[in-house]
Amino acid sequence: MKKRILSMICAVSMLCSLNVFSTVADPVYAQETVSTGTTYYISSIDGNNQNSGTSENSAWETLDMLGKVVLKSGDKVLLESGSVFNGFIHMKNVSGTASAPIMIDQYGTGAKPVINAKGQGIWYQDYVQAMDNSGHRSKGYVSSAILLYDCDFVEIRNLEITNEITDPAQEWNRFDDKTDERMDRTGVAGIAKNGGTMDHIYLENLYIHDVDGNLEDKHMNNGGVQFNALKPDDESATGIARFNDFKMKGCYVKDVSRAGVCLGYTYNHAKFNGSVLADEVVGKYGHTNILFEDNYIQNPGNDALVVMYSLRPMVQRNVSDAAGSDLDDNYAGYWQSFSATIWPWKCKDAIFQYNEAFDTVGTGNGDGQAWDVDWSDGTIFQYNYSHNNGGGAFLICLNEAYRGTFRYNISQNDLKALITFQGNPNAKIYNNVFYVDGDRATRINHPDAGKSSGSGELYNNIFYNTSTANPNDAWAGSGGTKVYSNNLYFGYTSTPSGDAAAVKADPKFVDPGKAPVDTTGLVDSASAFSGYKIQNDSPAINKGKYIANSGSKDFFGNAVGLVPDIGVHETTVADPAVAGVFSDVYTIGTNEITGVRKSVTADAFKAGFKHSAGVSLNVLSNGTEIAGTDLVTHGMVLRVNESGTVKEYTIRFDAGATTYTYTMGSNSVSGVVKNTTVDNFLSAFEHADGVTLSVYNGTEQVTGSVSVTSGMVLKVSGNGSVADYTISVIPVRVEYPVTGMTATAGSIQPDAEAAKALDQNAGSLWHTNWNGCTMDQRWITIDMGSAKKVSMLKYVPRTTQLNGVITGYEIYVSTDGTNFTKVTTANSTWALDNTEKYTYFDETVSRYVKLKATSTSGDYASAAEIRLGYTEDPVVLGVSSDVYTITTSEIMSKNSVSDVVKNTTVENFLANFTCEDGVALSVYNGTEQVTGSAAVTTGMVLKVSENGSVVNYTINVTPARVEYPVAGMTATVGSAQTGSATEGNGNLTLDDNLGTMWHTAWAGCQRQDCWITIDMGKEQTVSMLKYVPRTSSKNGLITKYEIYVSTDGTNFTKVSTKNNIWADDNQVKYAEFDAVNARYVKLFGAETATLEAGKIFASAAEIRLGYTE
């Protein structure tokens, strides 16, 4: 995380100010901070602000004293047990380190110290850009008891926090409209904005209650705990704002509004459009290493716990009690009265396990379910327990709830409906127990319109209903495709017609319906649910269906066999012998094994299969068995021998290629930037062993530095097959300004007129009449005001939902607005998602352009924005350089020439380019041309002119790095391997020998010991550290780092580096920072590579210090 300043503002009630981030003048340092940090003590009981604040016996009295110190790594702020503080703690640009985080905690014995904000601690939140739904508030004042703004490595524990309304006149009438004046409030708030990644925030054992926020403001910092990412002022300088290594553990959140806990909405929400979320995208723009565990959330006004825009978050052992407590009858009286309990939004591979949710409010709540897969990819809910939730057990919400899984969960007497299939793609729902008794009218499918229209595979579940009010509704619901197989049904008058393996009998539970209905705030142990185990004579035993990648264990931790029992309990009754083999790793076809991408050993390959005893596996190469570490290759055979019956499968390595850089269709590759070389193009693909990639221009293969152009073909060859993909290079799109343009449409909804497609607001939209319209009415025409050349239309769908998204289209043009001519477009269909889309056609001169829908989502058409323009080549042909790196972007302002050495004259600079006839080159500094012996500097522009066209390239000069000689320098380290002449000693980084290295202990070390300090022997100006990794292996490579400097070798100060990440490779790397006078420079490896699980290493072949000029 990049830090520019360190500041902290804290106040009591008299000091409340809207400008809480103004710099505190003339800081008073209680004592000089050393490497171990300073501890500050505050007590409302016996503190005095005249004290030093650095011991229990000299504690300060009020929180505002913290505004007079600069917190540094290793510092602690301790509040005395039993103290009550009317104020707040706000921290901005404050950073600890991985080895020495800043801590806020209690001291002494007794009750937790209390921070009562009471509406103080007011700050201004602004996302700057449009939200994903225009109804959400994006800016306004917020009151927070604790605020961490662009902070990292901060841990907060053992506090009681409130932020309640004390003036009854401010109490909010929840049926006001969404512009209601009640301020958003939080107990603990966090913001990532101008510091890049906000690392290592830990909240533990906090009691947060009576936070009276605004029930409607979903994405403001509003509720018990909420962390969000705002748009940086300059993302290119500070990095993408996001969170990493966030943990909330053992906290009690009670009587808060809006949500109990939420992390974390992001200004980058548009990067997450579409059902399929790539790891690379979510890991880059979203939040990572997120953990919520052992928290108790009671009576939140709306949702209990929501995690958003995150990669593989873990949510486990949390309890939700009465979520949605502020919702009631009159649900239509205010905006978005929806509350599920624990759920993800736009997450990839989230896991929710061992949680409990009960008594979620159903009346006045559009949802009310315990669990919800909501617009996320790969969500798993497993080993959870729900009961008496007003909306039911489980919701799969709408079209982007992709690859959702619900397995080994218990639902006891949930209300409304067991499962809500709300227009979702296929979900996997298996080995659950749905239990209903008493007089509950719980339905199988949700009764409301559209809420049983999704699809799912329902296997190995127990549906148990002895209620006298069982409605026995239809299993299929109102739409979608629901496949039932190997389920047990008890108490229902019918079973799904497609479940040929249905068991219709009493499952013989041990003692059902007796799972806990009260809570201590902790998740009960598995033994509390023993009533849902099945007896050894149960008809559910060995009647289930094998499901690949099913998690391998049941609700109680028992291993699941090849023939699973139905329900959540796998008994000890032995599986019957089962024919064949099964795999969670490979795909088993009729006669072949596929899904093998890389060569594996025979032993590792066979370990990827499951089978009954008595079945043996052999891998054959031309009839001869291979074994052990012999490699399996394409075309070999897996022989399955079952008591003399032999079945053979041909092993097929994947013959395809994948890429996260370009878009691959069935026979095309698009998204390629012009002037991409063949070498760089091919390096963006991954493929299996034995697969080769090549590029052809007609019948001639092209290689190396030749540029890829549209129409060339990528050939993917492997395993005897060849697949061709036509390459499409991105054109430069030039959009006309919308000033002076108008729009008309065949149908409109009031307040959603055609002009909304030109208002530069993605949150508003043109929409046809909500009552529906005919296809002939689903058109919109743009009048550009005058005739212009046009060959491109850009279509921006609505940012939420899919109603009216155009999937098939035609384009018509006209000069008079009356006589229209259809043009031929490169395509006539668009994907059904929320991403922006383009269509291209031969250039024409027209004033009017009509977009006519031929197919849409639903009986409507809609558009958030529409733009018109034309395309042109992104660069002038005929210029190249063997000395500099020329980067061409679809956006001309991002074109660049880099690797230019400082003090290069314009004359020498231009001499390093090769141009075709007719191409002219010149260098400009702003509007003034520079020539001859003038030095080229960063920010100047190279103008490339040809035939009247001009393309600009911004020049980037490489800074000159000056290294100090190593003579007289020494090194000390936190850990070193001993007994080796070539690995260990820190001084080996100063020996000019790449064959030796500093290496921490081979047995592993602690993270805080991954440091090396260079003593230059005297104070010198330093602004650069050169890190040369080891030349072989990757063990100990430093991939994330911190730099500290010192004049005495004892007191170190962290410096702000231009980056804090190095690539995981063996190339030379640099860390650069503002020049400072120092004698000692410490490199700390905050993250390092390891090839041995569970061990931490750090290493360096050589290290140099110096400066740049």
Q: DSSP readout, 234-250?
A: -HHHH---EEEEEEEES
Specify the amino acid at residue 365: N
Looking at the structure, do residues 889 and 850 belong to the same domain, yes or no?
Answer: no
pLDDT band at 952 (very low <50, low <70, confident <90, very high): confident
Does 690 score more than 90 pLDDT?
no
> Of 665, 718, 730, which is closest to residue 690 (Cα–Cα)?
718
What integer pLDDT is reported at residue 435 of this predicted model?
Answer: 98
Alpha carbons 817 and 595: distance in angstroms, whole number: 56
Q: For residue 260, tell me if it sits in a domain.
A: no
The residue out of 819, 848, 872 marking a domain boundary is 872
In degrees, rounded to 5, the angle at the alpha carbon of residue 702 between the alpha carbons of residues 697 and 707 is 90
Record the tokens describing residue 798, joined without a space: 């609505």
Instruction: Specify the DSSP element, H or E, that contains 1083.
Output: strand 1069-1088
What integer pLDDT is reported at residue 1090 of this predicted model?
Answer: 82
Q: For residue 211, tell me if it sits in a domain.
A: no
Record the tokens describing residue 799, joined without a space: 């940012």
Looking at the structure, do residues 617 and 665 belong to the same domain, yes or no?
Answer: no
Tell me the CA distances in angstroms from 212 to 361, 477, 505, one per residue in order: 19, 40, 50
Alpha carbons 553 and 549: distance in angstroms, whole number: 11
Does 930 score more than 70 pLDDT?
yes
Does residue 284 contact residue 240 with C-beta atoms inside 8 Å? yes
Looking at the structure, do residues 934 and 977 belong to the same domain, yes or no?
Answer: no
Q: How many helices (H) and strands (E) are present in the chain, helices listed first?
A: 5, 83
What integer pLDDT is reported at residue 926 of this predicted model?
Answer: 83
The residue out of 576, 598, 619 marking a domain boundary is 576
Does residue 595 contact residue 654 with C-beta atoms inside 8 Å? yes
Does residue 299 contact residue 325 with C-beta atoms inside 8 Å? yes
Determine the 3-state secondary structure of 681 from DSSP: helix
Between 223 and 686, residue with greater pLDDT: 223
The residue out of 872, 894, 917 marking a domain boundary is 872
Record the tokens describing residue 220, joined without a space: 């403001």
What integer pLDDT is reported at residue 170 of this predicted model?
Answer: 55
Looking at the structure, do residues 197 and 151 belong to the same domain, yes or no?
Answer: yes
Residue 1078 CB partners (closer than 8 Å, separation 6+):
1016, 1019, 1020, 1022, 1045, 1046, 1047
Q: Structure pTM? A: 0.66
> Of 372, 398, 380, which is closest to residue 274 (Cα–Cα)?
398
Looking at the structure, do residues 883 and 853 belong to the same domain, yes or no?
Answer: no
Q: For residue 247, tell me if it sits in a domain.
A: no
Q: For residue 253, tell me if it sits in a domain.
A: no
Q: For residue 248, tell me if it sits in a domain.
A: no
Looking at the structure, do residues 11 and 60 belong to the same domain, yes or no?
Answer: yes
What integer pLDDT is reported at residue 830 of this predicted model?
Answer: 87
Looking at the structure, do residues 900 and 916 belong to the same domain, yes or no?
Answer: yes
Task: Note the pLDDT tens digit of each residue in 963-993.
Answer: 999 999 999 999 999 988 889 999 999 999 9
Mean pLDDT of 294-319: 97
Among 63-67, 621-625, 1054-1058, which stretch is predicted with the lowest mean pLDDT? 1054-1058
Q: For residue 187, tell me if it sits in a domain.
A: yes
What integer pLDDT is reported at residue 949 of this predicted model?
Answer: 60
pLDDT band at 888 (very low <50, low <70, confident <90, very high): low
> Of 717, 718, 715, 694, which is closest to residue 634 (Cα–Cα)?
718
Looking at the structure, do residues 641 and 709 belong to the same domain, yes or no?
Answer: no
- Mean pLDDT computed over every residue of the chain: 88
Task: Note the pLDDT tens digit of each residue in 52-72.
Answer: 999 999 999 999 999 889 899
264 prior amide bond cis, ω within 30: yes
Does residue 463 contact residue 488 with C-beta atoms inside 8 Å? yes
Torsion, Cα 165 171 177 178, to 10 degrees, reads 0
Specify the amino acid at residue 475: W
What integer pLDDT is reported at residue 887 of this predicted model?
Answer: 74
Task: Note the pLDDT tens digit of each residue in 420-434.
Answer: 999 899 999 999 999
Tell me the CA distances in angstroms from 812 to 775, 809, 820, 953, one per residue in order: 16, 10, 6, 37
Burial class, 781, CB count within 10 angstroms (exposed 0-12 / middle 13-18 / buried 19+): buried
Q: What is the CATH number of the domain that holds 548?
A: 2.160.20.10
For residue 243, the Cα-to-chain-centroid distance in whole angstroms is 9
Domain count of the fold of the chain: 7
Does residue 102 contact residue 1047 with C-beta atoms inside 8 Å? no
Looking at the structure, do residues 801 and 824 belong to the same domain, yes or no?
Answer: yes
Record the tokens describing residue 400, joined without a space: 């982007």
Alpha carbons 424 and 421: distance in angstroms, whole number: 6
Task: Note the pLDDT tens digit of each residue in 248-282.
Answer: 999 999 999 899 999 999 999 989 988 889 888 89
Alpha carbons 457 and 403: distance in angstroms, whole number: 11
Report the range out of 15-19, 112-116, 629-633, 890-894 with the highest average pLDDT: 112-116
Does 667 score more than 90 pLDDT?
no
4 prior amide bond cis, ω within 30: no
Does 1058 score more than 90 pLDDT?
no
Does residue 851 contact residue 825 with C-beta atoms inside 8 Å? no
Looking at the structure, do residues 639 and 669 belong to the same domain, yes or no?
Answer: no
Does 92 score more than 80 pLDDT?
yes
Does 23 score more than 50 pLDDT?
no
Looking at the structure, do residues 1021 and 1044 belong to the same domain, yes or no?
Answer: yes
Mean pLDDT of 340-356: 97
Mean pLDDT of 407-431: 96
Alpha carbons 528 and 356: distance in angstroms, whole number: 13
Label the pairing between strands 433-436 and 692-697. unpaired
> Of 277, 192, 269, which is closest to residue 235 (Cα–Cα)?
192
Query: Greatest CA separation found in the chain?
Result: 95
Q: What residues act catalytically?
A: 367, 374
Task: Note the pLDDT tens digit of each residue in 123-146.
Answer: 999 998 878 777 788 888 999 999
Q: What is the CATH number of the domain that holds 823?
A: 2.60.120.260
DSSP 285: H
Mean pLDDT of 1049-1072: 87
Q: Which residue has the tokens 């004390």?
A: 166
Task: Note the pLDDT tens digit of each residue in 777-812.
Answer: 999 999 999 999 999 999 999 877 778 999 999 999
Among 160-174, 686-700, 1022-1036, which stretch is predicted with the lowest mean pLDDT? 160-174
Does residue 586 contact residue 549 with C-beta atoms inside 8 Å? no
Looking at the structure, do residues 552 and 672 belong to the same domain, yes or no?
Answer: no
Alpha carbons 636 and 857: distance in angstroms, whole number: 47
> Of 757, 731, 742, which is closest to residue 840 (Cα–Cα)?
731
Q: For residue 241, tell me if it sits in a domain.
A: no
Structural domain span for residue 1055: 961-1108
Record the tokens describing residue 765, joined without a space: 């939209």
Q: For residue 242, tell me if it sits in a domain.
A: no
Determine the 3-state secondary structure of 1006 from DSSP: coil
